[in-house]
Chains A and B, each alone.
Chain A
């Protein structure tokens, strides 16, 4: 190989390298910044269920919430710590959106329908705010829904008073206006992080 060949070879290499770099930069420029919460786009099926809304006793379906950004959470009202902590974080995150809060719904699905009557759920949801929608269904319907989102729950042994604990998932699934699953949060997610991600979803 002559000296000039080697030089042109080097020049070609530099050119290719530069092209690769430009390609990478363009690629990076095109991809959005990372989400604050965990991105689970495409990993779960779209929002779909058939339950009863506690506030008015009406039958509701997943598709009724199309157009809203939805936060889906499974819990029970006899849960003094984790459930109210999670709900208060979500409510604070949504309230920080200002007028756009109206376009977000927090769905609280009970995994303890035996104790959580519609009346009880209605009062419970109201204590947290207007964006919280409490939903109830038969064991079969709740089982189908929890299975759909790979969520588990179980009941502890009742004590002398008939009180029992319920183990449940701390996952919060976030769906976009189309009803497609996008993000995963949990009870420890900072409200400000959730607010930031909700803003982005609302802007889509």
Chain B
């Protein structure tokens, strides 16, 4: 309950934090923890509240050396990842970054991370605007 309230508050804060464009709301932002310095995946849901097309082009974080937009592709029984240069969002459109699809690839940790903590990730848009989003670190099993 506390966690739900906190998440709701964070979403509200995320929306308030940027008065001008890009008008995008982020929810359920989380990172699946993996040990050591293994690259990890970040998942979230993004909804555009802009009146014109919005383009998500990347991300950055003080905790990671490198943040990329990625997508897992499945061809038959084979899985592979591709780098996504930009993701277009029509006004009002929601795209869900989820396991097996779009995700943030978070690489080269600058410090040790533990499940339960929260780390900031700044999403970057095509028009140069940015949006800082707190990501919750979940356990390897996604709990």
Interface of A toward B, CB cutoff 8 Å: 77-82, 84-85, 87-88, 91-92, 120, 123-124, 126-129, 152, 161, 163, 165, 167-171, 186-188
Contact, CB under 8 Å: B141 / A152: no
Q: Which residues of B contact A129 (CB under 8 A)?
A: 141
10 interchain residue pairs of minimum CB distance: A167-B80, A85-B99, A80-B41, A127-B140, A170-B79, A88-B141, A123-B35, A82-B79, A81-B41, A80-B39
Task: Give CA–CA (A165, B35) in the complex, Å.
Answer: 18
With A78-B39, A91-B141, A165-B81 in contact, do A127 and B34 touch (Cβ < 8 Å)?
Answer: yes
Contact, CB under 8 Å: A81 / B70: yes
Q: Which residues of B contact A152 (CB under 8 A)?
A: 78
Contact, CB under 8 Å: B81 / A81: yes
From DSSP, what is the main secondary structure of chain B's interface residues? Answer: strand
Partner of A78, one of B33, B38, B66: B38
Q: Which residues of A contact B100 (CB under 8 A)?
A: 81-82, 85, 187-188
7 A-B contacts (beta carbon < 8 Å): A78-B38, A80-B34, A85-B100, A88-B142, A127-B34, A152-B78, A169-B77
Task: Give CA–CA (A81, B38) in the complex, Å.
Answer: 11
- B32, B77, B107 — which one has the most chain A CB atoms within 10 A of its CB? B77
With A78-B39, A127-B35 in contact, do A161 and B108 touch (Cβ < 8 Å)?
Answer: yes
Any A CB within 8 A of the CB of B90: no
Q: Which residues of A contact B34 (CB under 8 A)?
A: 77, 80, 84, 124, 127
Q: Distance (Å) between the CB of B58 and the closest chain A CB?
A: 15
Partner of A80, one of B40, B78, B80: B40
Interface of B toward A, CB cutoff 8 Å: 32-36, 38-41, 66, 70, 72, 74, 77-81, 99-100, 103, 105-108, 139-142
Contact, CB under 8 Å: B78 / A167: yes
Q: Which residues of A contact B79 (CB under 8 A)?
A: 82, 167-170, 187
Q: Distance (Å) between the CB of B107 and the closest chain A CB?
A: 7
Q: Distance (Å) between the CB of B97 and the closest chain A CB?
A: 10
* New A-B contacts (10) at CB < 8 Å, excluding given A80-B32, A168-B80: A81-B81, A84-B142, A85-B99, A85-B142, A88-B142, A124-B34, A127-B35, A161-B66, A161-B107, A170-B74
With A81-B100, A84-B34 in contact, do A165 and B80 touch (Cβ < 8 Å)?
Answer: yes
Q: Which residues of B contact A84 (CB under 8 A)?
A: 32, 34, 41, 99, 140, 142
Task: Give CA–CA (A163, B105) in the complex, Å.
Answer: 12
Contact, CB under 8 Å: A128 / B141: yes
Q: Distance (Å) between the CB of A148 and the closest chain B CB?
A: 15
- Complex: chain A residue closest to B71, CB-CB: A81
Task: Give CA–CA (A80, B103) in the complex, Å.
Answer: 9
Q: Distance (Å) between the CB of B128 and the closest chain A CB?
A: 24
Q: Which residues of A contact B103 (CB under 8 A)?
A: 80-81
Q: Which residues of A contact B140 (CB under 8 A)?
A: 84, 87-88, 127-128
Q: Which residues of A contact B81 (CB under 8 A)?
A: 79, 81-82, 165
Task: Give CA–CA (A73, B139) in the complex, Å.
Answer: 21
Q: Distance (Å) between the CB of A181 and the closest chain B CB?
A: 15
